[in-house]
Structure formats: C-alpha cells, structure tokens
C-alpha cells in the first residue's frame, strides 16, 4: 500500500510515534511517506519511510508566550501558519497518490477539530485513519478539571470523529473508554512502540522500582 502519515508538530511524542510507526509499516513492505513540519527534530534521521519535511511550523517555541500586544501578534502568526499547514494537508488528501492517510494530530482544540472535519469531507479522499493519543480534550479554559471541552468543540468533534474510517488506540482500556464515548467509530489497538527510535536496542530494565511521570 501507498501510505501517507501526517504530523504537523515539529517535536515531541506525537512526532516520535508517527515516525516509528512509519518505519514499522515500511519494514512490512508498504511505501510510506511522512509529511512533517519543516526543520523538525528528526529531520536527517535515517529511515525506511521517506520523510517530506514540508509543512509550515505551527509552534513558535517552548518559551512562555509574551503578554499584551506581542501575544496577539504571536496568535495571529500561529493562526496563519495553522491555516497554511492544513491547507497543504487538505491538498495532499486530494491528490489521489495514496491508498490511505494516517494522522496523529491533536484535535482537542476548535481550529484543529474544524480542520479535521474538513479533511474528512474532502471529495474522493483515500481512507482516513486517526491515531487517538488523547481520548478526551484537555481543559484549556481554567479550573481544576483535567478534561473539559467547550460546547463548540464538543459540537465539532461529534461531527468529525465518527467520519474517520479507522481510529487507532494504544490499549484495551482505551478501546473500552473510546467505544463508550464514540460507539459508531471503527477501532483497532496498536500498542506504543519501543525506544529504538533513539537507540539501537531498548534500554534494559531498571534494577530497582521507578516511577515515570509523563508531561
């Protein structure tokens, strides 16, 4: 199969997961392209999948955002880059050169959820696969709740999520929770890969008990 894997994030776990998934699919004999952000942190890495680092960067950095007018200017730049990025993704979905599209992009914000809805509506698109890293939208509106979506985000997600042809989840517990929330979704479980993305062999087990905190 000719597969296109899409991840706009220039760094972090979503990019790592997608690149390693692309390598695994290529090792099984598929023709795999990775459509990623320009100058992402894995550019130049030797890979069985072909990386196309062509998407506009939608993240300006990890530093704290500025305040006042500078913050508004930064918001405008990010919004413009986000529109350009998803415009390119929508164009790729129309080209007809791929048998399936796979994306792990976070759709827990209104702009990306609307873009995902638009992607599912592209005429003549190939089958569309979503990697659901987050089962629920994180709270970005204040308060003590960890998960919380705005009414508008809920409305868009209710339209977009069932339109994906397949959703990939990391485990059986996630499958149960996702199926209860989105009963019309077609689901498959794909566990997280090992750490061969960063080393030839996975690290050995620790000699003592340890706790790993994500985030």
Residue 33 forms part of a structural domain: yes
pTM, rounded to two decimals:
0.84
Query: Three-class SS string for 162-204?
Result: HHCCEEEECCHHHHHHHHHHCCCCCEEECCCCCCCCCCCCCCC
Q: Does some domain include residue 50?
A: yes
Phi, psi dihedrals of residue 112, rounded to the nearest 5°:
-75, -30
Measured CA distances, 91 to 45, 78, 111, 134 (Å): 26, 20, 18, 26
For 19, counting Cβ atoms within 10 Å of its Cβ (0-12 exposed, 13-18 middle, 19+ buried), the class is: buried
Contact 6, 92 (CB under 8 A): yes
pLDDT of residue 88: 94
CATH of the domain at 38: 3.40.50.2000
Rounded Cα distance, 115 and 204, in Å: 41
DSSP per-residue string spanning 123-138: TTPPPEEEE-S-SS-B
In a domain, 99, yes or no: yes
In sequence order, the β-bridge partners of residue 31 are 2
Residues 116-173: pLDDT tens digits?
999 999 999 999 999 998 877 766 666 667 666 688 888 999 999 999 999 999 889 8
Q: Does 203 fall in a domain?
A: no
Tell whether the model's pLDDT for residue 62 goes beyond 70.
no
Residue 149 domain boundaries? 2-189
* Closest listed residue to residue 103, CA positions, set 132, 134, 83, 82: 132
The answer to whether position 202 is within a domain reads no
Q: Confirm whether 207 is domain-assigned.
A: no
State yes or no: pLDDT of 61 exceeds 70: no
Does 87 reside within a domain? yes
Q: Average pLDDT over the chain, rounded to whole? A: 87
Distance CA 133, CA 173 (A): 13
pLDDT at 215 over 70: no
Q: How many domains, in total, are found in the chain? A: 1
Q: What is the 3-state secondary structure (H, E, C) of 9-22?
A: CCCCHHHHHHHHHH
Share of the chain above pLDDT 90, in %: 46
pLDDT of residue 167: 95
* Residue 18 domain-assigned (yes or no): yes
- For 188, the 3-state DSSP assignment is strand
Per-residue pLDDT of 83-92, as tens digits, reads 999 999 999 9
């Amino acid at each position: 199969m000719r597969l296109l894997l899409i991840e706009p994030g220039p760094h972090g776990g979503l990019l790592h997961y997608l690149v390693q998934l692309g390598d695994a699919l290529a090792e099984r004999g598929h023709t795999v392209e990775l459509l990623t952000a320009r100058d992402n942190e894995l550019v130049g890495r030797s890979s069985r999948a072909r990386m196309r680092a062509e998407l506009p960067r939608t993240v300006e950095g990890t530093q704290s955002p500025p305040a006042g007018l500078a913050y508004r200017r930064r918001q405008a730049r990010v919004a413009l880059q986000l529109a350009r990025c998803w415009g390119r993704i929508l164009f790729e979905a129309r080209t007809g050169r791929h048998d399936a599209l796979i994306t792990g992009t976070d759709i827990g914000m209104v702009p990306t959820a609307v873009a995902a809805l638009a992607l599912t509506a592209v005429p003549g698109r190939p089958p569309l696969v979503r990697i659901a890293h987050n089962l629920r939208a994180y709270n970005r509106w204040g308060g003590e709740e960890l998960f919380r979506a705005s009414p508008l985000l809920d409305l868009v997600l209710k339209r977009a999520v069932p339109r994906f042809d397949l959703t990939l989840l990391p485990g059986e517990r996630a499958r149960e929770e996702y199926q209860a929330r989105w009963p019309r979704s077609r689901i498959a479980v794909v566990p997280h890969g090992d750490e061969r993305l960063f080393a030839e062999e996975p690290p050995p087990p620790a000699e003592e008990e340890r706790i790993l905190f994500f985030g």
